[in-house]
């Protein structure tokens, strides 16, 4: 696995003034932006090519790519303000000829998240046990394969397997199925999201195995409450477990 795609086009509106000022990937819990720490983890896992799909405040990501041109390139979603993450993923499809890792830009996570996904088969959706973070995406599986996901736990017909983390390994074959199902729908509704609107329909046509790590340390940062939880609890625990990173933050 040599390629990773990071979705970083979102406007960060739920983070208020902070989200309007910088992309969520440039939130800083330690000495560097969280997207830079994610890139370092990807490099440690053997990834050699990283595509970042940009939108809001795209220059921050372009400057990052300028600093590491052999590793990072950006693809801009020109409709970032009126489209969802599935549209952003479709913007990168011409550059994706092989299997790849798909990540969200606003994640912090421990290294074994990547180790587990990379040690799996050609396709894998990473799940965790309950985090209590709020705004979870719950996932239901059958025989360890994706069946459904929803932010409304009661909407899932059956027991919940775990929470969606936002790190997925996709083979080119599965990605082709996903895009075949998505492109016509995106023309009608560009606001579709890659998880519920992309992965779930594709998994009905091609199996998407799920990997559950009950005690995985990770956080997604969408709101000020998420940010404070990540800063106080999750990031320090990740640094302690992995032995890398920088905590407390630099002044």
E strand map for 9-156: 49-54, 72-76, 100-104, 107-109, 124-128, 138-142, 145-150
- pLDDT of residue 186 exceeding 80, the answer is yes
Region of poorest pLDDT, from 12-21, 89-98, 231-240: 12-21
In a domain, 27, yes or no: yes
CA distance 38 to 171: 21
Determine the pLDDT at residue 157: 86
Region of poorest pLDDT, from 12-16, 71-75, 175-179: 12-16
Which pTM was predicted? 0.95
Q: Which of 116, 159, 164 is nearest to 138 (CA)?
A: 164
Q: Give the burial string for 30-64 (b: 16+ CB within 10 Å, else e).
A: bebbbbbbbbebbeebebebbbbbbbbbbebbeeb
Q: Which residues contact 77 (CB under 8 A, 6 or more apart)?
A: 9, 53, 54, 55, 83, 87, 88, 91
Average confidence score pLDDT of the chain: 94
Which pLDDT band, with edges at 50, 70 and 90, does 246 fall under?
low
Determine the pLDDT at residue 58: 96
Backbone angles phi, psi at 138, to 5 degrees: -90, 145
Determine the pLDDT at residue 251: 41
Q: Which residues contact 44 (CB under 8 A, 6 or more apart)?
A: 111, 114
In a domain, 184, yes or no: yes
Tell me 57's DSSP state.
B
**Cβ neighbours around 135 below 10 Å, total:** 11
The domain containing residue 77 runs over which residues? 3-123+166-191+217-242
Number of folded domains that form the chain? 1
In a domain, 199, yes or no: no
Mean pLDDT within 83-87 = 98
Which pLDDT band, with edges at 50, 70 and 90, does 249 fall under?
low
- pLDDT of residue 192 exceeding 90, the answer is yes
In a domain, 38, yes or no: yes
CA distance 158 to 163: 14
CATH number at residue 57: 3.90.550.10
Determine the pLDDT at residue 27: 96
Determine the pLDDT at residue 42: 98
Determine the pLDDT at residue 248: 53
Cis peptide before 136 (omega within 30 of 0): no
DSSP strand pairing (107-109 vs 162-170) = unpaired
Which pLDDT band, with edges at 50, 70 and 90, does 12 fall under?
confident
The tens digit of pLDDT for each residue in 195-233 reads 999 999 999 999 999 999 999 999 999 999 999 999 999
In a domain, 248, yes or no: no
Most distant CA atoms of the chain, gap in Å: 50
In a domain, 34, yes or no: yes
- pLDDT of residue 250 exceeding 80, the answer is no
In a domain, 11, yes or no: yes
Is residue 52 within 8 Å of residue 118, measured between CB atoms? no
């Amino acid at each position: 696995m040599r390629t990773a795609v990071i979705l970083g086009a979102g406007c960060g509106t739920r983070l208020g003034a902070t989200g309007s000022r910088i992309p969520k990937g440039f939130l800083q819990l330690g000495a560097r932006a969280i997207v830079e720490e994610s890139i370092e983890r990807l490099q440690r896992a053997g990834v050699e090519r990283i595509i970042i799909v940009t939108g809001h405040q795209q220059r921050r990501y372009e400057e990052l790519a300028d600093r590491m041109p052999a590793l990072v390139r950006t693809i801009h979603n020109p409709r970032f303000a009126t489209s969802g993450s599935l549209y952003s993923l479709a913007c990168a499809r011409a550059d994706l000829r092989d299997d790849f890792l798909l990540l969200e830009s606003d994640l912090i996570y421990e290294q074994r998240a990547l180790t587990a996904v990379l040690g799996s088969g050609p396709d894998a959706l990473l799940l965790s046990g309950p985090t209590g973070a709020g705004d979870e995406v719950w996932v239901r599986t059958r025989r360890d394969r994706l069946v459904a996901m929803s932010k409304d736990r009661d909407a899932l017909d059956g027991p919940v397997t775990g929470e969606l983390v936002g790190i997925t390994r996709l083979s080119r074959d599965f990605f082709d199925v996903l895009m075949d199902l998505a492109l016509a729908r995106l023309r009608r509704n560009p606001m579709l999201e890659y998880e519920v609107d992309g992965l779930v329909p594709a998994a009905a046509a091609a199996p998407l195995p799920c990997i559950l790590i009950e005690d995985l340390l990770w956080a997604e940062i969408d709101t000020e409450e998420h940010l404070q939880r990540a800063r106080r609890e999750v990031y320090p625990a990740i640094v302690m477990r992995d032995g890398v990173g920088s905590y407390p933050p630099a002044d």
